[in-house]
Amino acid sequence: AILRHAAHAKLCDSLVHGGLEAGVVASMVHDMRPVVAAPGERILEAGQPDPAAYVFAAGRAHAVDDRGHEEYLSVGAILSNHEFRQVAKRVGVPTRRVTFHVERCRGLPPQASLVARAAGASACDPFVEVTVVSKTVFGQSVKTCRTRVRRFSTDPLYDETFSLKAYHQTRTALITVYNWARGVEGRRLGQVEVEVQDPKNRRPRWHRLRDARGRRAGDVRLRVAFDPLDEAEISKTAEVTVVADGFCHLYELSFGAQAGVKRYIRGLRLTLAKRLETLDDAPAVDWRPAAGALDALAPDALTPARGFEAYAA
């Protein structure tokens, strides 16, 4: 159930496996297994064959392209250079840069009661997550970056800058403020959508945050710049090297499982006569009962019915 929730929808939305029926993808998910990447481990290597395809479940890792540009990976991303190459064949490589400078937040709602704060609990431990969504012909390209956690503050100061490569049709970015909690993703405090190509957002501006119920949840101050990449910054290949920054939890889809699905699909495309021909090439099955199967029965119990049961066994 966990694998189906974490990986099935991602594979169905991918370019390589998106054309398969949901039942076929479910069979592939059944063959997936959880793996853990240690800090510093290279999950993918540009220019080398992929060891497998992965779905990034949890942790922190970054990708490095052939120009040396680093970007942090979003949870739920499919890690496969084969997938990246197929995407590049259809929409090309990113040719724009989105730069975010997150200055500060103010008026965030406290997450601890007055009694808990009097006992030393933190009122709020916020961090800001920026998600850039680029809509392409095959779906959505999602990239994420986040600030450091600022402890014990409802008016945190960040002063952090991030740069992400994006497609020219990128329009918006989601700015989400979370309250950090150990071992979990964090509780969402508020969110706002920002137009990345709006010239007004190139200077620092306050943006009002709204919680899940639409209520005001403070403000965030940032600026956004959307610029074309220089020719030397545009990647020549879609392949990247993925490195784990900490312990990363992944779901691995081996190439053996993918090959089994390919054989199954090729078999479905064959006519009935061709399928029967493949059965003729298979070794003959010996349907005779195993030696001693009938002798194991008592002589007085060797009725025709019991004899058939022993034969079937």
CB 112 within 8 A of CB 151: no
DSSP per-residue letters across 200-245: GGGS-EEEEEE-TTS-EEEEEEEEEEEEEPPGGGS-S-S--EEEES
Per-residue pLDDT band at 111 (split at 50, 70, 90):
confident
Per-residue model confidence (pLDDT) at position 114: 58
Per-residue model confidence (pLDDT) at position 308: 47
Q: Which helix (H) or strand (E) holds 75?
A: none
For the beta sheet containing 96-106, the strands, ordered from the edge strand earlier in sequence to the opposite edge, are 139-146, 126-136, 172-179, 187-195, 205-210, 216-228, 96-106, 157-166
* Whether pLDDT at 107 is above 90: yes
Ranges 176-185, 225-234, 262-271, most confident:
225-234
Among residues of the chain, what percentage have pLDDT more than 90? Answer: 47
Kindly list the distances between the CA atom of residue 206 and the CA atoms of 151, 173, 192, 312, in Å, as whole numbers in the listed order: 21, 15, 11, 78
Over the stretch 241-274, which tens digit does the pLDDT of each residue have? 999 999 999 999 888 777 777 677 777 766 666 6
The mean pLDDT of 123-138, rounded to a whole number, is: 82
Over the stretch 20-78, which tens digit does the pLDDT of each residue have? 778 778 888 888 889 999 999 999 999 999 989 999 988 889 999 999 999 988 888 88
Question: Measuring CA to CA, which residue among 13, 8, 62, 67 is closest to residue 32?
Answer: 8
Q: At residue 100, what is the residue type?
A: F
Q: Could you give the maximum distance between any two Cα atoms of the chain, in Å?
A: 97
The mean pLDDT of 10-22, rounded to a whole number, is: 78
* Higher per-residue confidence, 61 vs 296: 61
CB 240 within 8 A of CB 77: no
* Higher per-residue confidence, 102 vs 152: 102
Q: At residue 53, what is the residue type?
A: A
Cα–Cα distance measured from residue 71 to residue 68, given in angstroms and rounded to the nearest whole number: 10
pTM for the model: 0.72
